[in-house]
Structure 1
Amino acid sequence: MKEELIKFAKKYYDDISHPLAVANQFPEMSDEWIVGLFHDILEDTNINKDFLFCLLTLLGKYKLFDEIVKMTRRKGETYFEYIRRLDGIAKKVKIADIKHNLSRTETLQPSLKERYEKALRILLEGE
């Protein structure tokens, strides 16, 4: 099942390295791993919500649909409004996402580093 999910994700993401790095911060095939793998799929691919819901339903993981949708910033929502509304699995995955983004020092711009560090503080400590 894991290999099938990765193969599926590779069809849609231009580069699967980041989603896979986020997913791999969690136990394989856990709910967090699946949400991590698909955390950017609605923003970065042509996958729509209906297709994603059908895929998750086929996997018996339809309950993860809301968590993946939460990972997508809403129209008109500021970045920090988005960060503050995250909870549950989406919050755990966003923490892993930010940690991975911060680890990519070769391409991390100072302004993004500050933004990610502030977001991580909010998610870990509440602000």
Structure 2
Amino acid sequence: MRARRLSSFSDDVIADMVARYVSGESQTSIARTYGLDQPTVSHLVRPHAPPERSRRRAHGTTNGAGKLTDDQVRHIRSSFDTGAITQVSLARQHDISPSTVHGIIKGKTHSPFGESTPN
């Protein structure tokens, strides 16, 4: 089967794919219907799909399964900033990995609302 260019799909076909995806149909099922592979369907529907169909997960304190509260994150940052404790000690204290502590300190993860992250 010869690959089709993404631009060869009409707006109506893309709208149908998006509607089916939003209604809960899998990208793989949609791909089979149109004789495509799943990554192609993903490329076509994801920009138009609502956020609730996104696989992107919440990070930091917005993650429902997160271990740390905003106060704990502030404590980790302030304790490390004062030089009073090492990253490994903070990790043990909060039952998290040292790499998580590093991410918190560098502002890569756990950005509580209203708190600016370091650059």
- Please say whether Structure 1 and Structure 2 have the same fold, judged by a TM-score greater than 0.5: no
Q: Which has the higher contact order (CA 8 A, sep 6+)?
A: 1
Query: Would you tell me which structure has more helix in proportion to its own residues?
Result: 1
Q: TM-score, structure 2 length as denominator?
A: 0.30
Structure index of larger Rg:
2
